[in-house]
Amino acid sequence: MLRISPVTKRLIGTTSQLLWHLPENPELNLEYLSNANNAEEINRNNRARKGVGDIDLVLKLHNTLNELTPRDSNYESIHKQFCNELLKIPNRTHPSVTHLREPSVINTIGQKGVFDFKPREFHDICKRLNFVRTDQLGNVAGNRSYYLLGEMAELEKALINYTVTHLLKHNFELVSVPDILHRDIIEACGLNTRGDRTQVYNLDSNMFGPDLCLSGTSEMALAALYANEVVPERDLPIKLAGVSRCYRAETSSVAEERGIYRVHQFTKVEMFAISKPADSDSILEEFRLIEETNFSSLGLHLQTLDMPPHELGAPAYRKYDIEAWMPGRNMYGEVSSCSNCTDFQSRRLNIKYDNESELGYVHTLNGTACAIPRMLIAIIETYQTDKGVIGIPEVLQKYMKNKTVMSKQLAIPDLRLIKYKK
């Protein structure tokens, strides 16, 4: 049986005296992946998930390797290729969703609000009330930049504080995370960081070295926090919460994603858990419940979707999306999701548990407790009135000096662009 040596490790860090390693060749489940009997199942899964993996190639390389010895001249290069191909195979899929061709609504909370006027869109409301600035920022801050103004910025903070309080009550440990990460961490979490189409921002490689990227979610840093650790089983599950800025280079010209619906930078409160394999299904349900309770307490109308294989991305085994009703847009918009990644990330990051009789890979889970721009859209559109003010959800009022409504922001004035250059 071929073994991939976990001994070769790479150094992560900008200064060499600080040690931080990720396994170069993660210990993947070779017993399953390189067994020809499973090829059909893996192939079916890969196709259903629109994955980029090629299990036939993996098996072919495996057979070639078995015929060679490490002394052969081409052994190393084939071994490298074999490992790379293995990493492209997506996670398995939860049996309850393998048959799904489209998202399945599994829960609905609240109802669409009734308005006796035509509800306005977020962007329109914000323009009238001076809540957000998005115009004339491309040349000074960057494309799709935005500034939240006055009470809108307070609403952002109120949402973060409300969510964090909620998570602390559920025994999450708050962690303050780095936003600039080594490329390997992001790749280990299942995201490509190179090429023109990557969603990942890179720091200038001439100035800051080739491997620093901006984090797209604190899930990555939280996962990396436990890289190479062996956690005693009695300490599981570990539940972490992070508040961070998220940077995503993705662009969109879809009309539905105008305004601040899809942006390059935003604040997010994230939930992350490390669990025993047997517990990850139930923790995913816990995450979903926390999200649903949190958003419904804000008075939003929601639907929860069980996502089909092709919407899962490589790491997830099962994923729920929660959509909130946005009356101005007259559509449901995704505000949150939660995923069970089983051992996909833990193998790549080398996170194990120890129950005194054996070592095993933990399962990791992540969920969005609150992603700012879309939550603002859902709240502002839901709480709009035709009187030029916006209601503040009751549970958030105590985080906003007990204000009950938000009105036009005058303290930050309308600016006028200076047309001439001098």
Q: Which two structure tokens, joined as six digits, stand for 190?
A: 């299942």
**Annotated binding-site residue? 250:** yes
Distance separating alpha carbons of residues 263 and 30, to the nearest angstrom: 39
CA pair distance 151, 135, nearest whole angstrom: 19
Specify the long-range contacts of residues 60-65, CB closer than 8 Å, at least 24 apart: 61/85, 62/2, 62/34, 65/2
Query: Does residue 314 have a known ligand-binding role?
Result: no
Q: Provide the β-strand partners of residue 367.
A: 271, 338
Binding segment for other proteins among 34-42, 259-267, 299-307, 323-331 (CB under 8 A)?
259-267
One-letter amino acid identity for 353? Answer: Y
Residue 104: Cβ-neighbour burial (10 angstroms; 0-12, 13-18, 19+) = middle
Whether residue 151 is annotated as binding a ligand: the answer is no
Q: Which segment (168-176, 275-283, 291-299, 323-331) binds other proteins by CB under 8 A?
A: 168-176
**Terminal alpha carbon distance of the chain:** 73
Sole binder of other proteins in the list 127, 245, 276, 403 (CB under 8 A): 245
d(CA 238, CA 230): 13
Binding positions for other proteins, 381-410, rule CB under 8 A = 409
Question: Is 108 assigned to a binding site?
Answer: no
Print the SS3 string covering 117-141.
CCCCCHHHHHHHHCCEECCCCCCCC
Q: Answer yes or no: are the C-beta atoms of 78 and 58 closer than 8 Å.
A: no
Pairing of strands 352-354, 230-232: parallel
In the complex, least distance from residue 229 CB atom to other proteins, rounded to whole angstroms: 11
Q: Which two tokens stand for residue 347?
A: 């193998």
Of the candidate residues 249, 289, 389, 405, the single one contacting other proteins (CB under 8 A) = 249
Site for other proteins in 17-36 (CB under 8 A): 18, 20
> Which of 52, 168 has the CB closer to other proteins?
168
Site for other proteins in 118-157 (CB under 8 A): 133, 136-137, 139-143, 145-154, 156-157
From candidates 7, 114, 207, 254, binder to other proteins by CB under 8 A:
207
Q: Which listed residue (204, 234, 278, 387) binds other proteins by CB under 8 A?
A: 204
Give the x/- contact pattern for other proteins in 287-326, rule: CB under 8 A: ----------------------------------------
Which region among 29-37, 195-203, 314-322, 363-371 touches other proteins (by CB under 8 A)?
Answer: 195-203
- Decide: 85 and 221 in contact? Cβ < 8 Å: no
Min dist. Cβ of residue 303 to other proteins (A) = 28
254 binds other proteins (CB under 8 A): no
Beta strands 359-361 and 238-247 are unpaired
Q: Which is nearer to other proteins, 266 or 332 (CB)?
A: 266
Q: Which is nearer to other proteins, 7 or 18 (CB)?
A: 18
The residue written with tokens 């509800």 in the block is 119
Binding site, annotated residues? 217, 248-250, 263-266, 270, 334-337, 366
